Chains A and B, each alone.
Chain A
Amino acid sequence: MRRREAARTPRALLACGLLACGLTAAPEAAGEPAGRTLVVSARGPHRTLEDALAAARDGDTVVVEGGAHGPVTVSRRVALEGRGWPVLDGGGRGTVVKLTAAGASLRGFVVRGSGASLDDENAGITVAAPDVRVEGNRLEETLFGISLAHARGAVVAGNVIASKDLDVPRRGDAIRVWYSDDVRIVGNRVTRGRDVVLWYSQNLAVLDNEVTDGRYGLHFMYTDDADIEGNRLVGNSVGVYLMYSRRLRMRRNVVTGNRGPSGFGLGLKDMDECDVTDNVFADNRVGVYVDNSPREAQSHVDFVRNLFAGNDTGVALLPSVRRNTYTDNAFVDNGEHVGILGGGTLGENAWARGGRGNFWSDYAGYDRDGDGVGDVPYRAERLFEHLTQRNPALKLFTYAPAAQALELAARAVPLVRPQPKLEDPAPLVAPHVPAGLPRGAAVAGAPLVASSFGLVALAVGLLAVPGALLRGRARGPVEARPPGGTARAQLEAGAAPVLSFEGVTRRFGATLALDGLTLAVPPGQALAFWGANGAGKTTALRCLLGVIPFEGRVTLRGHDVRRDGKAARRQVGFVPQELAFHDDLTLRETLAFYGRLKGLGGAAAEAEALLGRLGLAEHAHKTVRALSGGLKQRLAVALALLGDPPLLVLDEPTANLDAPARAGLVALLAGLKAAGKTLVFTSHRLEEVLALADRVVLLEGGRLAADVPPRDLGERLQAHATLHLLLPPAAVERALAVLTDAGYAPARTGAGLSVDVDPTEKGRPIALLVGAGVPLADFEVARTGSAERRAGPASGPGRA
Chain B
Amino acid sequence: MYFVAKVKEDECAKYNCKQCVLFCPEPNCINFLEKKSTAWVWPDKCKGCEICVYVCSDLLKRNCIEMVMVQAGD
A binds B: no
Q: Name A residues whose Cβ lies closer than 8 Å to a Cβ of B.
A: none
Q: Name B residues whose Cβ lies closer than 8 Å to a Cβ of A.
A: none
